[in-house]
Amino acid sequence: MATEARRPGRPATLEDVARVAGVSRATASRVINGLPTVDAALRRKVEEAITATGYAPNRAARSLVTRRTDSVALVVSEREQRHLATPFIGRMFSDPHFGRVVSGLLRELRPAGLQTVLMVADDEASRAQVLAYLRQGHVDGVVLVSSHPDDPLPRMLAETALPTVLAGRPGRAAALPYVEVDQRAGARLAAERLVAQGRRLIGTVAGPQDMPAAQERLDGFRGALAALGVPDLPWAEGDFTRAGGAEAMRRLLAGHPGLDGVFVASDLMGLGAVPVLLRAGRRVPQDVGVVGFDDSEAAEAAEPALTTVRQPVEDMAGEMARLLLRQIREPGAVPPSVVFRPSLVVRDSA
Amino acid sequence: MATEARRPGRPATLEDVARVAGVSRATASRVINGLPTVDAALRRKVEEAITATGYAPNRAARSLVTRRTDSVALVVSEREQRHLATPFIGRMFSDPHFGRVVSGLLRELRPAGLQTVLMVADDEASRAQVLAYLRQGHVDGVVLVSSHPDDPLPRMLAETALPTVLAGRPGRAAALPYVEVDQRAGARLAAERLVAQGRRLIGTVAGPQDMPAAQERLDGFRGALAALGVPDLPWAEGDFTRAGGAEAMRRLLAGHPGLDGVFVASDLMGLGAVPVLLRAGRRVPQDVGVVGFDDSEAAEAAEPALTTVRQPVEDMAGEMARLLLRQIREPGAVPPSVVFRPSLVVRDSA
DNA sequence: TTGAAAGCGCTAACAT
DNA sequence: ATGTTAGCGCTTTCAA
């Protein structure tokens, strides 16, 4: 119905809105930005003009004057892997876990009016490039998902004073808030489950011990077992991949054939570990109980389905977004890190 | 060494560079944008000034005048699924396939100096929002990854005249270039493999028949079998999920217990289908040969590992990026769609 | 409460 | 080949 009163071909500008509403650009701008000091009648006129013209603000123009960008960067930092056969950017993107993080993030960021720019840092050059981009003020904040413990990026970001949130505690401490699950508490849940089932010869397939999360899962599991009266803990280290889990399970089983319970530090490794047990003639869960970690799709896909420690990944990502928003809105504020409580999801493997 | 000759606190501007180099803003701009009409000596001076000041262009300012944004949108379009238990944005993001697409895309986009903005359209409101954003000229182009065949977005995008590329042929035809794999050729590879192994009682677990890709895989498989002298094709429809594959396999096997070969239209469905066969007492591949489609992680994860039809996903995504770049560089050009040739990856299941 | 005007940093005529 | 200048669309003093 409304004739779009504007120059043809180009999107309507604030100027157009002002003209249609019969006010100045300044007043139109006030309405658009929700400032209270506008007469109700004029406000209505402007709002009508916005609808009539199909106006939407030009972000570049706005950004030029406000120095905000209404966008944040989602930076994926991976160790360079030219030696691996992995095609291109490595496994982060094809990890369903990462997808869940993105999902939880967007769910908060979108309603806040923030766009999300995807960036990858996987070698020295790209890291410098990303950092330059961020420092230049092209985004209002950064969510960093880093997969390697010796990543220098957290510290470098801390020095920029740009609002930043980390997915998980960084390998090298940095003065930045992070969100993660209580690894030790999760390990304890696993220990309690296995012990409650009467298992006493318990081992664990741990994650890479240079990663804090993996360390804490191992350490927490050992501590919980000790508290439950099981002082000894044989373990083997995997690399958080399926193949690595299988390999570690083989070593563990070779050294300790009498095992009746295993805590595998990730579901994906569990996917590799369980078949090793089965092929070695152990029934799961009858002979050996297995508890995983993550509650990823892998847990459901396993045969039998894995009993596992659940991380509320989407909720955690949502919290990351909120921490970031708070920093953006209150410059200087550095909110405390948030640690989520894990829960046990009982399926068939223990 | 170089003292950063600039106002403190703020990034250097073109003005700063010009002053340090002792030239006008225009000349500095010419150097930065690589225009040829600049004296070699001045060019060097400007380049030094850039280094000295740590200058990087302000994208907002540039965008305001050029009407380019040097960014593209990666739009993920999914059917609304409030009825499902799926947490949040649905399964696209946690699909490793999507991650491979992102990976291939970024690999081309990054060197071209384009940022990638992630957007989701999963209901009427978000679709309108995304469309408004795109129409407003906030990006130079769009990559659309759509998961549902009745998606109105391809057509709506075609009407905007914004450079666009689709991941896969759209359900409703649209005048936009797309990239996909030759589905029929892939199905033929599967048929040839099974028939070459002497199998004659062959069925297929097809994908959702409202999706073009799924239709073509079924149709192509049927055609190829007929050409090879196997005229009959029992089939059951799955929904491209693991559980759906298992369910369809059960139905297929119930109706045709004598099957000795199955083409499963996705590896993920294969992951569900194979255990059904095993539990029904069929050995794979001895009693029943199984060929999947995609060559995803699922194919390797299956037990036995799936022989499958490979889609070069990262390469295809890279091609999408190139098609988009061409449209951006040559406005008005609508490059033809590109169809990739699949290949057979032989593993243990057939 | 409203408007006039300056200016954010950059590119692109245009003039030289 | 180089410089001067006029905006791009918006927010934000500052006056009224």
Identify the band that residue B10 occupies on the pLDDT scale cut at 50, 70 and 90: confident
At residue A60, what is the residue type?
A
In angstroms, how far is CA A278 from the centroid of its own chain?
A: 33
> Does B149 lie in the same domain as B34?
no
Residue B242 lies in a domain: yes
Instruction: Render pLDDT for A78-103 as a digit per residue (tens, 0 to 9).
Output: 887 654 444 444 577 878 888 899 99
Checking if the pLDDT of B89 tops 70, the result is no
> Does A144 lie in the same domain as A87?
yes
- Whole domain around residue A325: which residue ranges? 71-180+314-340
- d(CA A36, CA A50) in angstroms, rounded, equals 18
Checking if the pLDDT of A182 tops 50, the result is yes
The answer to whether residue B119 neighbours chain A at the CB level (below 8 Å) is: yes
> Does A209 lie in the same domain as A162?
no
C-beta neighbour count of B52 within 10 angstroms: 19
| Overall domain count for chain A | 3
Nearest C-alpha neighbor of B122 from the set A325, A106, A113: A106
Of all helices (H) and strands (E), which one includes residue B216?
Answer: helix B212-227
> Does B124 lie in the same domain as B112?
yes
Compute the average pLDDT of residues A158-171.
94
Checking if the pLDDT of B336 tops 90, the result is yes
Give, rounded to a whole angstrom, the gap between the first and last alpha carbons of chain B.
Answer: 65
> Does B320 lie in the same domain as B272?
no
Tell me the HSE value of B305 on the side-chain side, using a 13 A CA sphere: 11
Instruction: Render pLDDT for A227-254 as a digit per residue (tens, 0 to 9).
Output: 999 999 999 999 998 899 999 999 999 9
The answer to whether residue B142 neighbours chain A at the CB level (below 8 Å) is: no
The answer to whether residue B61 neighbours chain A at the CB level (below 8 Å) is: yes
B46: its two tokens: 């400007």
> Does B154 lie in the same domain as B171?
yes
Q: Picking from A46-60, B91-105, B327-341, which range would have the lowest pLDDT averaged per residue?
A: B91-105
Which of B17, B59, B127 is the mutation pick for testing A, counting most A CBs within 10 A? B59
Strand C proximal to B26 Cβ, under 7 A = yes
Contact (CB<8Å) A69/B89: no
| pLDDT recorded at residue A314 | 95
Identify the band that residue B168 occupies on the pLDDT scale cut at 50, 70 and 90: very high
| pLDDT recorded at residue A90 | 57
Instruction: Give A-chain residues touching B301 at CB under 8 angstroms.
Output: 242, 271, 301
Q: What is the CATH number of the domain that holds A41?
A: 1.10.260.40
Instruction: Render pLDDT for A289-347 as a digit per residue (tens, 0 to 9).
Output: 999 999 998 898 888 999 999 999 999 999 999 999 999 999 888 999 999 999 999 99
Residue B6 lies in a domain: no
| pLDDT recorded at residue B172 | 87
Would you say B249 and B262 are in contact if contact means Cβ atoms under 8 Å apart?
yes
Instruction: Render pLDDT for A269-290 as a digit per residue (tens, 0 to 9).
Output: 999 999 999 999 999 999 999 9
Residue B7 lies in a domain: no
Greatest mean pLDDT among B10-14, B23-27, B122-126: B23-27
Checking if the pLDDT of A7 tops 50, the result is no
Residue A2 lies in a domain: no
Among the candidates A23, A42, A66, a domain finishes at: A66
Identify the band that residue B81 occupies on the pLDDT scale cut at 50, 70 and 90: low
Strand D proximal to A25 Cβ, under 7 A = yes
> Does A176 lie in the same domain as A187?
no
> Does A29 lie in the same domain as A54?
yes
In angstroms, how far is CA A10 from the centroid of its own chain?
A: 39
Q: Dihedral of the CA atoms B239, B244, B248, B254 (nearest 10)? A: -160
| pLDDT recorded at residue A148 | 86
| pLDDT recorded at residue B44 | 96
| pLDDT recorded at residue A3 | 40
Instruction: Render pLDDT for B131-159 as a digit per residue (tens, 0 to 9).
Output: 989 999 999 999 999 988 899 999 999 99
Strand D proximal to A38 Cβ, under 7 A = no
pLDDT, mean over chain A = 92
Residue A119 lies in a domain: yes
pLDDT, mean over chain B = 92
Instruction: Give A-chain residues touching B104 at CB under 8 angstroms.
Output: 88
> Does A241 lie in the same domain as A136?
no
Q: What are the backbone angles phi and psi of residue A257, rounded to the nearest 5°? A: -65, -20
The answer to whether residue A104 neighbours chain B at the CB level (below 8 Å) is: yes
B171: its two tokens: 């359900």
Would you say B134 and B157 are in contact if contact means Cβ atoms under 8 Å apart?
yes
Checking if the pLDDT of B6 tops 50, the result is no
Q: For D6, which residue's CA is nearest its C1'?
A: B65
Residue B235 lies in a domain: yes
Residue B191 lies in a domain: yes
> Does A260 lie in the same domain as A209?
yes
In order of A197, A235, B158, the CA distances from A250 in angstroms are 23, 11, 55
The answer to whether residue B307 neighbours chain A at the CB level (below 8 Å) is: no
Residues 121-140 on chain A lying near strand D, CB distance under 7 A: none
Window B:255-274, CB contacts with A under 8 Å: 271
C-beta neighbour count of A21 within 10 angstroms: 22
> Does A187 lie in the same domain as A176?
no
Q: What is the CATH number of the domain that holds B150?
A: 3.40.50.2300
Residue B136 lies in a domain: yes
> Does A170 lie in the same domain as A124?
yes
Instruction: Render pLDDT for A48-75 as a digit per residue (tens, 0 to 9).
Output: 999 999 999 999 999 999 999 999 999 9
Q: Coil, strand or helix: which one is B14?
A: helix
